[in-house]
Amino acid sequence: MPSTHKVAIVTGGSRGIGSAIARQLAKDGHAVVVNYAGDAASARAVVADIESRGGRAIALQADVSKEEDVLRLFRETDAQLGAPTVLVNNGGITGGFSRVDEADARMLAQVFGVNVVGAFLCCREAVRRMSIRHGGRGGAIVNVSSRAAEIGGGGEWVHYAATKGALNTLTTGLAREVALEGIRVNAVAAGLIETELHAAAGKPDRAARMAPGIPMGRAGLPEEVAQSVAWLVSPSAGYVTAAIVAVAGGR
């Protein structure tokens, strides 16, 4: 089995915040697994960019809401790069804009399946490999949450906000569960970030329209979230666990 000192899995790593995280971690010396659900071309482009800068990366397809896909994702990571030392649970979907009284069960199952069940499954597999209790050498997990968990998402996506609230609870609980097992677990709560997420949800002008209401007067950049993730997995954050770091311009 290959053994690379620092191996990071970034779910949803082909676009937006995820691709920025993958590039930043590669820059910091991690071999990176760029996970994607369906956009193979974008994932390959991120890998190619990392390799062009001297880094190491592979693209692996997996729908994290499916247990068999998550198992395959981790098995292939083990085989190609070695056991992961970092997991970034970035993969997520919004389910589109909807009031609660317009939501349907199928959409809710999809959003909670990817955003919550997927994160749990990935955390489970990461802990099994990282924990000194299981013979691992420790590691770090970062969950990409959202300020929507606190704000609530009323009128747009309460369903999405609720999944991020669950992710925050997972972060706090798991951090305390594995604190003596060599694993730190934290989250970044992203605010209004300039990505294609808004267009994918049906409102391409959302970031520009909402930016004046941010205390800092602008939407954030994916790279700003990525830099916070990179700090949380680094030795500089060695005494930081169970933290939910807002990257939201004061929102």
Closest-CA residue to 191 (of 173, 170, 210): 210
Distance (Å, whole) CA 144 – CA 40 = 22
Of the candidates 36, 74, 157, 160, the residue annotated as catalytic is 160
Which residues 6+ apart lie within 8 Å of 109 measured at CB? none
Is there a catalytic annotation at residue 36?
Answer: no
Active-site residue list: 160
